[in-house]
Amino acid sequence: MGKLKGNTLSNSLNALKSFHQYHDLESSEFDVCIKAISKSDKKVVFEKHVPVRVVFDKNRQYITITWQEAGIKNYRSKQLFERYNPNFNEMVIDEDNYSLEIKSDESDKILIINY
């Protein structure tokens, strides 16, 4: 997994920052609806309510997803991760649809977090 560069990096950081500001929760945990979509055929793999925590400050930026609390065991074997960092994972905010999209080169899924 390589570090993002240029506009992709800037846009990813801004997307997570906007998502964090929308919730204005100072790193508190809150539930969101997450939809996992297959990269290969664009079909929905699952849709679950999952607790997340966002940290966004000058030193750290990431979103933590607590898959186990949503009943998804062995999430790593499903190419899901507990922490997504906008420095390495492309994030796109869609303000019209109230969603944050997360792409990882190490996963066969795209995550869409509705808020």
User: For the segment 76-95, what is each residue's pLDDT rounded down to a tens digit?
Assistant: 999 999 999 999 999 999 98
pLDDT of residue 58: 86
Report yes or no on 101 lying in a domain.
yes
pLDDT of residue 115: 79
Structural domain harbouring 48: 6-114
Whether the per-residue pLDDT at 65 is higher than 80: the answer is yes
Residue recorded with tokens 């990096």: 9
Tens-place pLDDT, residues 5-49: 999 999 999 999 999 888 766 557 888 999 999 999 999 999 999
CB neighbours of 77 closer than 8 A, spacing ≥ 6?
none
What's the CATH code of the domain at 60? 2.30.29
Report yes or no on 1 lying in a domain.
no
Sequential DSSP letters for 19-87: HHHHHT-TT-EEEEEEEEEETTT--EEEEEEEEEEEEESSS-EEEEE-GGGGT-TTGGGGT--SEE-TT
